[in-house]
């Protein structure tokens, strides 16, 4: 029996064949989902999909787009937000 922590479905089961010809089960963390826009839910471009410990190693310019609300809003929602702000006279 495997460790109780590995019995949870938050761990992905990956079957690997060893050099001896035996099939064994390896447990891996599931990949994080693609980051999405908080307003419309579309996947964000320019934001890496990785574990936090992987993303921490990237340069800051590689982590998210360098614009207002980069990494939170998609470009379409940002354009709408800024156009409304211009009409109202500021954010």
| pLDDT at position 72 | 92
26 with 2, same domain: the answer is yes
3-state secondary structure (DSSP) of residue 73: coil
- Pair 20, 59 in one domain: no
Domain match, 22 and 40 both: no
Q: What is the pLDDT of residues 29-52, one digit of tens each?
A: 998 999 999 999 999 988 999 898
Give the residue among 14, 82, 71, 16 at the shortest CA–CA distance from 47.
71
45 and 76 part of one domain: yes
Question: Which of 75, 77, 56, 55 lies closest to 67 in space, CA to CA?
Answer: 75
Whether residues 9 and 36 share a domain: the answer is no
Query: In this structure, are 71 and 44 located in the same domain?
Result: yes
Positive or negative, the CA dihedral 75, 80, 83, 84 is: negative
Residues 65 and 81 reside in one and the same domain:
yes
Asked whether residue 41 falls in the same domain as residue 18, the answer is no
Asked whether 24 and 18 are in contact (CB, 8 A), the reply is yes
Residues 13 and 26 in one domain: yes
CA dist 37 and 80 (Å) reads: 13
Residue 48: domain span: 32-91
Number of domains in the chain: 2
Average pLDDT, the chain: 90
């Amino acid at each position: 029996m495997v460790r109780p922590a590995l019995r949870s479905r938050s761990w992905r089961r990956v079957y690997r064949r060893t050099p001896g010809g035996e099939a064994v089960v390896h447990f891996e963390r599931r990949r994080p989902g693609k980051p999405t826009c908080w307003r419309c839910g579309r996947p964000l471009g320019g934001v890496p999909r990785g574990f936090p410990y992987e993303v921490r190693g990237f340069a800051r310019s590689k982590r998210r787009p360098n614009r207002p609300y980069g990494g939170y809003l998609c470009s379409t929602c940002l354009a709408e937000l800024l156009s409304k702000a211009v009409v109202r006279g500021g954010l």
